[in-house]
Amino acid sequence: MSEEPFDLSGCVERTRQGDPDAARRLVEHLYPQVLQIVRSHLPHRTAEADLAQDVFVKILTRLDRYQPRADVPFTHWVSRLAVRTCLDALRSERRRPELRWSDLSEDQVRWLDYVVAEDHPAPTDAATGARELVHLLLALLTPEDRLVLTWLDLEQRSVREISAATGWSVPLVKVRAFRARRRLRKWAEEFRE
Amino acid sequence: MKTFKTRWQECAGSARSVRAPAPEMPPGFAARVIARANLAAEDSLIGLWLAHARRALILATGIMVICAVVDFASRPAPAAIRPPIEAAVFEVITRL
């Protein structure tokens, strides 16, 4: 027997009317979407579950502000709210983490050498090292730049998707991506010297 | 020759192949969120009242200070502090 499709708009409406069961189902339905955003933009010293909770509390307390529009479906509204909450949390981090050579593993060093220098071969069997290095380098960027490159380069979202999820214009997303990669290159080269 | 952007994106591509664990909601997460949201709704009403009360108090204090200053400035100086001797001396000197 197949499950009934989830009635998102109905659940939103019942949650607005104060139905706790509907609120619970709404949280369960949105959890994967919110957690993906939170995981991509988690500040250094913040627990994933804490930030996800903050996002959901905002969703529930601001639900009456959501006006259904054709160009802003509910999931986009949720994305924008989650992104803003994560950016606020990243901005409130007093200092961004420092990257120290001694902290890098052998695989991370091999990937850093490849990314920065043209004459190093690409590592073929160090995917975990690549993932760790990517997250270390992204953590050095401003929250907005980190968000753009995480979604564009790591999660392969399109510029239009990022524009819809953040509310930023398409040209702004492109400019941010260009500047972020330029900064990343500069830091990576300086760090490697 | 590959550019930095290409090499960086290759690195990101390799990173993508490492699968993150599927998001699983911890037990009781939804209940905690709903409880916090209900508390936040109550706090926001109290906060609204406090924010306006504070502003009204600041405004009232400012108006009171301004009225006091204006009142004080518009009063004539009492006779006791008028310097009659000095005024007389000044008048004599200026007539000389």
Place of tokens 């986009």: A76
Q: From the list B15, B26, B36, which residue is nearest A127 (CB)?
A: B15
Predicted local distance difference test score (pLDDT) of residue A158: 93
More confident residue, A192 or A83: A83
* Model confidence pLDDT, tens digit, residues B19-73: 667 778 888 999 999 999 988 876 666 666 766 778 888 888 999 999 888 887 7
CA–CA distance, A133 with A122 (Å, rounded to integer)? 14
**DSSP letter, residue A125:** S
* Model confidence pLDDT, tens digit, residues A120-179: 777 877 788 888 888 888 888 888 888 899 999 988 899 998 998 888 999 999 999 999
**DSSP letter, residue A138:** H
**DSSP letter, residue B80:** G
Residue B29 CB contacts under 8 Å (≥ 6 apart), including other chains: A27, A31, A49, A52, A53
Q: From the list A49, A56, A133, which residue is nearest B11 (CB)?
A: A133
Q: What is the dihedral of CA A58, A59, A64, A66, to 10 degrees?
A: 120
* Model confidence pLDDT, tens digit, residues B63-94: 999 988 888 777 766 655 556 777 777 777 77
Nearest to A61, CA basis, from B65, B34, B87: B34
| Separation in Å, CA of A181 to nearest CA in chain B | 7
Query: Does A120 lie at the interface with B, CB-CB under 8 angstroms?
Result: no
Residues of A in contact with B41 (CB under 8 A): 61
Query: Does A35 lie at the interface with B, CB-CB under 8 angstroms?
Result: yes
Helix, strand, or coil (residue A151): helix
| Separation in Å, CA of A157 to nearest CA in chain B | 13
Residues of A in contact with B27 (CB under 8 A): none
Both structure tokens of A91: 């901005």
Asked if this assembly's ipTM is beyond 0.95, the reply is no
CA–CA distance, A96 with B62 (Å, rounded to integer)? 42
* Model confidence pLDDT, tens digit, residues A57-112: 999 999 988 887 767 789 889 999 999 998 888 887 756 666 677 778 888 888 88
Asked if B34's CB is within 8 angstroms of A61's CB, the reply is no
| Separation in Å, CA of B63 to nearest CA in chain A | 37
